[in-house]
């Protein structure tokens, strides 16, 4: 058992941990675990670096082979393929592209638009992208069950977006014209109803539709006494006759209707 000596010279026992082990032994075990973890982390980093180095070597070899295979090919096709490769993979740098096709790809400056691999959902033409962010947006838009699928513009080409907006604008204009025409027709219809004598108005198709609607809304009961009828529809105001609001009318049985008109004391 380890012992410690105080400044008075008295011997005391070393503090114990909960399991009965020496604190020094626990500290040594923790230090050993930390050292083992550090060694393991270093090995992991070295392994990752080796894998990345191997990948870089194989990737550059692939680039060299690709550069030899596209030699003499159409420049536009080469530019499109290389630009799409650059937009699709974040690990490819501009220097890699310049090494691949130094004559066609400048070390700096904007790359040409490239096909994204997706087609417009309206016309079926290939969708182009001009940056890595645009490529990511296209992929999100076409990903199944993605929230971005609710926005069809992200899955259409520019021409179809313009055509769709023109169609929507034309629809809105047509709807406004139709609404204005219907408003004028309604005003003319209301004016014709108001020109009728009141007795004739109560026999019009418009009034019978309003009357039936009020009866159904009141469940064929008087709004005052809840009696079953016979029922009438009473005008509380005549300001909007011909285009009455529901609050302008009330369903009454005959006794309550007579009371409303002051015929019963």
At 219 the three-state DSSP class reads coil
User: One digit per residue, pLDDT tens: the chain, 265 residues?
Assistant: 444 444 444 444 444 445 555 667 767 777 777 777 777 777 777 776 776 666 566 666 665 665 555 555 555 666 677 777 778 777 777 776 666 655 555 555 677 788 888 899 888 898 888 888 888 888 888 887 766 666 778 888 888 899 989 998 999 898 898 888 988 988 898 899 889 898 898 899 999 999 999 999 888 998 888 888 788 898 888 888 888 888 889 998 888 888 877 754 4
pLDDT, residue 11, reads 45
pLDDT, residue 265, reads 42
pLDDT, residue 258, reads 84
The domain in which residue 78 lies consists of: 18-106
pLDDT, residue 90, reads 73
Task: List, in sequence order, every residue forming a beta bridge with 232; answer none if it has no partner.
Answer: 252
Cβ(251)–Cβ(215) below 8 Å: yes
Is residue 88 one of the residues assigned to a domain? yes
Is residue 171 one of the residues assigned to a domain? no
User: Where is the domain boundary, 61, 89, 106?
Assistant: 106
Q: What is the Cα–Cα distance from 96 to 102, expressed in whole angstroms?
A: 9
pLDDT, residue 86, reads 78
Q: What angle do CA 97, 101, 105 make, to 5 degrees?
A: 65
Cβ(66)–Cβ(92) below 8 Å: no
What total of structural domains would you count in the chain? 2
pLDDT, residue 138, reads 86
Is residue 225 one of the residues assigned to a domain? yes
Is residue 232 one of the residues assigned to a domain? yes
pLDDT, residue 12, reads 40
pLDDT, residue 61, reads 64
User: Where is the domain boundary, 88, 106, 124?
Assistant: 106
pLDDT, residue 105, reads 57
Cα–Cα distance list, 216 to 205, 209, 210, 212, 233 (Å): 17, 11, 10, 6, 12
Q: What is the Cα–Cα distance from 238 to 248, expressed in whole angstroms?
A: 8
| Residue 139 tokens, joined | 């992929």
> Any idea what the CATH number is for the domain that residue 213 is in?
3.40.1800
Q: β-strand 231-235 against 249-253: which pairing, if any?
A: antiparallel
Radius of gyration of the chain (CA): 43
pTM above 0.85, yes or no: no
Is residue 139 one of the residues assigned to a domain? no
Is residue 174 one of the residues assigned to a domain? no
pLDDT, residue 70, reads 52
Is residue 34 one of the residues assigned to a domain? yes
At 149 the three-state DSSP class reads helix
Cβ(127)–Cβ(152) below 8 Å: no
User: Where is the domain boundary, 44, 77, 106?
Assistant: 106
Is residue 7 one of the residues assigned to a domain? no
């Amino acid at each position: 058992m380890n012992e410690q000596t105080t400044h008075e010279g008295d011997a005391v026992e070393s503090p114990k941990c909960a399991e009965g082990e020496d604190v020094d032994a626990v500290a040594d075990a923790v230090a050993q675990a930390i050292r083992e973890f550090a060694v393991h982390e270093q090995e992991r980093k070295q392994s990752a670096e080796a894998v990345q180095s191997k990948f870089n070597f194989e990737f550059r070899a692939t680039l060299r082979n690709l550069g030899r295979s596209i030699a003499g090919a159409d420049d536009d096709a080469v530019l499109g393929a290389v630009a799409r490769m650059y937009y699709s993979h974040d690990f490819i740098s501009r220097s890699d592209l310049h090494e691949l096709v130094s004559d066609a790809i400048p070390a700096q400056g904007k790359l040409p638009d490239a096909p994204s691999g997706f087609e417009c959902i309206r016309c079926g033409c290939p969708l182009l992208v001009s940056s890595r962010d645009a490529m990511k947006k296209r992929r999100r838009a076409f990903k199944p069950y993605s929230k971005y699928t609710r926005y069809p513009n992200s899955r259409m080409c520019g021409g179809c977006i313009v055509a769709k907006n023109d169609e929507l604008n034309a629809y809105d204009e047509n709807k406004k014209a139709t609404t204005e025409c219907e408003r004028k027709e309604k005003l003319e219809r209301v004016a014709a109803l108001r020109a009728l004598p009141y007795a004739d108005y109560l026999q019009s198709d418009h009034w019978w539709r309003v009357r039936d609607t009020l009866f159904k809304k009141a469940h064929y009961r008087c709004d005052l006494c809840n009696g079953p009828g016979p029922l009438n529809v009473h005008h509380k105001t005549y300001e909007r006759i011909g285009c009455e609001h529901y609050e302008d009318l009330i369903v009454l049985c005959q006794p309550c209707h007579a009371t409303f008109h002051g015929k019963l004391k």
